[in-house]
Structure 1
């Protein structure tokens, strides 16, 4: 067989094999599946979605621990061995020593008691040093401790008191309400002693009777004044101004010095005498060292806001000391 026939045979064989393959494929695609209709009517299977496997949720995180804040009104513990600590705990240690008197318990209490006494002694010593030389703290500035000096002050104050009583007597009188009791009788000579200063005495009898020895022959019988003045006890004494204002001095028996003092207080309270005049009757060397005019609570509020504890009002002692000294000096 020549080369041309061989080539033709090979070619024909390949062609037939290819055609059979194509025909078989066509039969499967069309001829054998023609009953399925046109392809656009065919329902193609929907693609299956891949379902992701659900992962288990992580366990919930443990809540953060809440910050514990102490109650607002809880008082912080006192510093051990401080005066506040001793004040709170000393009795408890004493009770422990009494209930269980071992050597250790008793010694512990006695140590703490000794500590308290030592602190008190230290405070007393420091107080002497702090007072000395400060006219606002040293009582010697107001009244000396020596007998000869106090006697002189008492004499001068007595003279001033006499002058002031004589002045008050010019514009006020004494109303003396009494009954027939023994207490009223013992008050009579003391009331009479006020006449030496020039006081006019109006004696008012509750039961319409004179005193035992008729010391006040011009006495008056009570006509309702005791009820108006709400008198509960006899004798009762009142300072009465020229315009009829009654100022009580006391209901009950009084000694002469007490009666004079109350009389001056009643006159001062009603501005019948001046504060300066009243201060002269005090047996004091100096009455101008009072801290009250210098220290007012309203003035220190700004200091508390800037330097102190706004809740307690406590200011550091050194800062408060500087503030007080500046006020005393008028700065």
Structure 2
């Protein structure tokens, strides 16, 4: 009976000893190795990490398709060798050639590129021929292109420019704001003397500082005026010399130059102001322009887009009429 009671007790002791041994192994260090930790030592328990079970979605069953084969991408409906076709296929062929670098893919891209060049060449040939033999599109009528014609054109236009400037002097004049101590004004004065002597313009000199016109060797500008504060404010003179063009009929004035201006600049700017302010006609302006303005459109023109494509001569007739003022030339060309 005693032996039966002792056996469970022995088993319990053995279990307790094994548990302490395992605990000592888990700690890793003994009492002295742990620097004599006392009864007051509290070892924080490691936080328990909750194990999150990932929910694995069950594989979805794929129902067999009625079609036995995979449907291929729809083929392009673009007409080959058109701009849209090249825009779609050239980049695709180039990327394929770069990625594979195989002789076949590179050759395919190069030949496709050559086809695009051929189409462009045909267009350019027709472009040149059409513009060359259509007087409304011939750019040489606006400005000659060949050497001898261009030289002749320049000489004639320069002559017309000086003549037009002289005619403008009949209805317009200049106001010359200057300072007697201004070095730039001393250079400006001889140019204005020529404007007065050679082209007949009236020039009114106005002194900012009250002194006479500098470098007035021929005394063209002895009768100068002294600027009043009101005049300086009205004309907003910020530098000398300053020139204003005045329309004699309306007394309107327009800034021509602020700072030194050579004779050619005075002439060209005067003509540009006259054109802008409708002081001369378009024909008068074209007589001296190095590049003639032959405008075939105007902002008030209304164009029917559908009719442009329905009738190939609709836009042609409309633009020719704008240029010539009549119905234009008949369309007998093929």
Bucket of the pairwise TM-score, normalised by the shorter protein: 0.5 to 0.7
Note the C-alpha offset of 1:106. 9.4
Residue 136 of structure 1 contacts residue 290 of structure 1 at CA under 8 Å; is this kept in 2?
no
Structure 1 residue aligned with 2:125: 125
Distance 1:87 1:191 in 2: 60
Distance 1:278 1:201 in 2: 23
Residue 238 of structure 1 contacts residue 248 of structure 1 at CA under 8 Å; is this kept in 2?
yes
Counterpart among 226, 242, 248 of residue 221 in structure 1: 226
Q: 1:132 aligns to what SS in structure 2?
A: helix
Query: Is 1:273 the counterpart of 2:275 in the alignment?
Result: no
Structure 1 residue aligned with 2:192: 191
Distance 1:190 1:220 in 2: 19
Q: 1:174 to 1:128 in 2, by over 3 A?
A: same
Distance 2:148 2:163 in 1: 23
Structure 2 residue aligned with 1:248: 255
Counterpart among 236, 239, 258 of residue 245 in structure 2: 239
Distance 2:150 2:90 in 1: 42
Structure 2 residue aligned with 1:22: none
Deviations 1:113-158 (A, max 9, x none): 8777666555433321221111111112233223333333333333
Q: 1:97 to 1:189 in 2, by over 3 A?
A: farther
Distance 1:252 1:203 in 2: 15
Counterpart among 264, 277, 281 of residue 271 in structure 2: 264
Counterpart among 205, 208, 211 of residue 209 in structure 1: 211
Structure 2 residue aligned with 1:66: none
- What is the aligned residue count? 238
Q: How does 1:100-119 map to 2 (within 5 A)?
A: none
Distance 1:138 1:200 in 2: 41
Distance 1:253 1:90 in 2: 56
Counterpart among 302, 316, 330 of residue 327 in structure 2: 330
Q: 1:147 to 1:214 in 2, by over 3 A?
A: same
Structure 2 residue aligned with 1:30: none
Moved more, 248-257 or 89-98: 89-98
Structure with max Cα Rg: 1
Distance 2:256 2:88 in 1: 45
- Name structure 1 gaps, 5 residues minimum: 1-77, 309-314
Note the C-alpha offset of 1:261. 1.9
Distance 1:231 1:96 in 2: 67
Note the C-alpha offset of 1:223. 1.3
Residue 154 of structure 1 contacts residue 283 of structure 1 at CA under 8 Å; is this kept in 2?
yes
Structure 1 residue aligned with 2:202: 200
Q: Normalization by structure 1: what TM-score? A: 0.54
Residue 191 of structure 2 contacts residue 263 of structure 2 at CA under 8 Å; is this kept in 1?
yes
Deviations 1:246-304 (A, max 9, x none): 122232333332321221232344444333333322346x76x53126x9542x23xx3
Deviations 1:216-269 (A, max 9, x none): 443332213232123344332111133532122232333332321221232344
Q: 1:95 to 1:253 in 2, by over 3 A?
A: farther
Q: 1:228 aligns to what SS in structure 2?
A: helix
Note the C-alpha offset of 1:199. 1.0
Distance 1:324 1:82 in 2: 24
Structure 1 residue aligned with 2:295: 290
Structure 2 residue aligned with 1:178: 178
Q: Normalization by structure 2: what TM-score? A: 0.54
- Name structure 2 gaps, 5 residues minimum: 1-77, 321-325, 329-334
Moved more, 205-214 or 85-94: 85-94
Q: CA RMSD in A?
A: 4.3
Q: 2:129 aligns to what SS in structure 1?
A: helix
